[in-house]
């Protein structure tokens, strides 16, 4: 996973699958776009207005990684 932020444009980009190609994109709400591969798996998220919505403070992306044991499913 790779997270990048462009402070001039206030755009947060989260790449979840570096080995996949984007085949389709959908704006799920104004300023938030999800890209999926040809199998419908999420490849990336683009969030326009991240700082304005409180996801970035003083140039620092606010990310919490949480692992919920027992809730993850293995994929083949």
- The model's pLDDT over 33-72, given as tens digits with 9 standing for 90+, comes to 999 999 999 999 999 999 998 888 887 887 776 776 665 5
Q: Are strands 42-48 and 11-15 parallel, antiparallel or unpaired?
A: antiparallel
Distance CA 72, CA 52 (A): 32
Nearest CA to 23 out of 35, 8, 6, 11 is that of 35
Would you call 54 helix, strand, or coil by DSSP? coil
For the chain, which residues make up each domain, given as ranges?
A: 2-61
Does CATH number 3.30.230 belong to domain 2-61?
no
User: Is the pLDDT score of 75 beyond 60?
Assistant: no
**The pLDDT of residue 71:** 58
Cross-strand partners of 13: 4, 46
Token pair 């959908």: residue: 26
């Amino acid at each position: 996973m790779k997270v990048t932020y462009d402070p001039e444009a206030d755009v947060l980009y989260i790449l979840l699958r570096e080995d996949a190609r984007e085949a389709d994109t959908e704006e799920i709400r104004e300023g938030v776009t999800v890209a999926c591969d040809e199998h419908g798996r999420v490849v990336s998220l683009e969030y326009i207005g991240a700082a304005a919505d409180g996801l970035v403070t003083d140039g620092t992306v606010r990310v919490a990684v949480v692992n919920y044991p027992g809730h993850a499913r293995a994929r083949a």
